[in-house]
A = this chain, B = another copy of it.
Amino acid sequence: MAVSVKEVAALAGVSVGTVSNVLNRPEHVKPDTIRRVQDAIDELGYVPNSAARQLREGRSRSLALVVLDVANPFFTDVARGAEARAAEDGLTLFLANSDDSTDREALHLDVFAQQRVGGVLVSPVGEDLSRLETMRGHGIPVVLVDREAGESAFSSVSVDDKAGGALAARHLLETGRRHLAFVGGPLRIRQVADRFEGASSVVAGEPDATLRLFGTDEMTLNEGRRVGEALVPLIKDGRVDGIVAANDLLAIGIQRALLFADEPVRMPEDVGLVGYDDIAFAASAVVPISSVRQPSALIGSTAVELILEAGDGVAPRQVVFEPDLVVRASTVG
């Protein structure tokens, strides 16, 4: 049933070593022999067994990416960038979804450790990186994605979330708003906390400006709608005139709730709305939503770079990208 190098070698009338050479170092093999071996491979329908190869080589030709939420277009963009870069070096990228759950994250990391993948890109769920330390201890390079590594000795690729939050808040202030709402959560998600902090610091610098936090349990369309409904009366009262959403899914949900209220809110006249991530749906919303853009594909490809350069004794590197703001109709008339 299973066709191995042995059968191929037998049919081609060469040794197994030669078959392996044809596959991996054809320049050391006479063209005529290559042809014979190729023919045998084709005839038998031989497919190399990567388990065997990997066992011998001690490491697989693949990388793994563990993201917080595959349903979030931001992460699929990151994955796309990473996969493209990995493919350049002939590496496969495995994608896994932790769904913001520590358990699932741990499960996936276990599997990847057992696979002896060549490296792991991960946007960690919590603050506890000890499991990742262990992986590195086992010789598997780790790069944090969308999370600054700080003093821990990991490489990381992130976007300055504080700057992003600040960007959003400043834009609202500069377009005349004074009473901002920040929608997002849970705050244990580092990115959310940072974005909130960035917004806070800008607002704190303006004596007459205020910022109020509206927490959510998830960053989904539905949570956005829920909060949006609660915001309507506040906007009508003038107690809120600008909204910073921690991601675009929330922003879209909020927008829908506002525009669909019994007494609809006008946008951008009554309230300004800024989202985060600049996913495709943000530009396609009824009132296109201004959004803080992150270079998602670049984040992915850079993370793979960092994995590849991580060797013995190479100092970890922290790459931090700056976000920028895409201004659309949800904030300016």
* Interface residues of A, Cβ cutoff 8 Å to B: 1-2, 45, 47-52, 54-55, 58, 60, 70-71, 73, 76, 79, 83, 92, 94-97, 110-111, 113-116, 134, 137-139, 220-222, 225, 252-253, 256, 259-260, 280-281, 284-286
Q: A115 to B284, Cβ gap below 8 A?
A: no
Extra contacts, 8 of them, besides A52-B55, A281-B281 (Cβ < 8 A), are A2-B58, A47-B110, A47-B138, A49-B55, A49-B114, A71-B76, A94-B94, A220-B280
Q: Which residues of B contact A95 (CB under 8 A)?
A: 70, 95-96
Q: B51 to A115, Cβ gap below 8 A?
A: yes
A275–chain B nearest beta-carbon distance, Å? 14
Interchain CA distance A248-B302 in the complex, whole Å: 33
Q: A137 to B54, Cβ gap below 8 A?
A: no
Interchain CA distance A251-B70 in the complex, whole Å: 22
Q: A284 to B252, Cβ gap below 8 A?
A: yes
The residue on B at minimum CB distance from A59 is B51
Q: Given A45-B137, A47-B138, A49-B116: A284 and B54 within 8 A (CB)?
A: no
A47–chain B nearest beta-carbon distance, Å? 5
Q: Which residues of B contact A111 (CB under 8 A)?
A: 50, 92
Partner of A47, one of B83, B113, B281: B113
Q: Which residues of B contact A48 (CB under 8 A)?
A: 114
A65–chain B nearest beta-carbon distance, Å? 11
A and B contact pairs by CB, cutoff 8 A, 19 listed: A45-B138, A47-B113, A47-B138, A50-B51, A50-B114, A51-B54, A51-B60, A51-B115, A51-B116, A70-B70, A70-B95, A71-B73, A71-B76, A83-B97, A95-B96, A220-B280, A252-B281, A281-B281, A286-B286
